[in-house]
Amino acid sequence: MLLLIIRVLYAFICAGAIAAYLGTDEAMLPLFARQHALATFFIMLLVSQSVTIIDVLFAENELS
């Protein structure tokens, strides 16, 4: 249960950091991020959560 809470908190923290990055001055962002902010958000979120997703999908042993 604690591991699930930590994973959810990590996802929320990553989402907030990505949203803050995309909400900064648009002159600092790459062209693709300026034109496709929502797609960039989800791609960056997927990349940041990829290890967690792999861990959940291929978990062999769980701690009690």
Question: pLDDT over 90 for what percent of the chain?
Answer: 59
Q: Which residues contact 52 (CB under 8 A, 6 or more apart)?
A: 7, 10, 11
pLDDT in tens, 23-54: 888 778 889 988 999 999 999 999 999 999 99
DSSP 8-state class, residue 58:
T
**CA proximity to 49, closest of 60, 1, 6, 2:** 6
Enter the pTM of the model: 0.80
Domain extents in the chain: 2-57
Residue 5, token pair as written in the block: 């809470």
Residue 21: band (very low, low, confident or very high) from pLDDT cuts 50, 70, 90:
very high
Cα–Cα distance between 31 and 22 in angstroms, integer?
Answer: 12
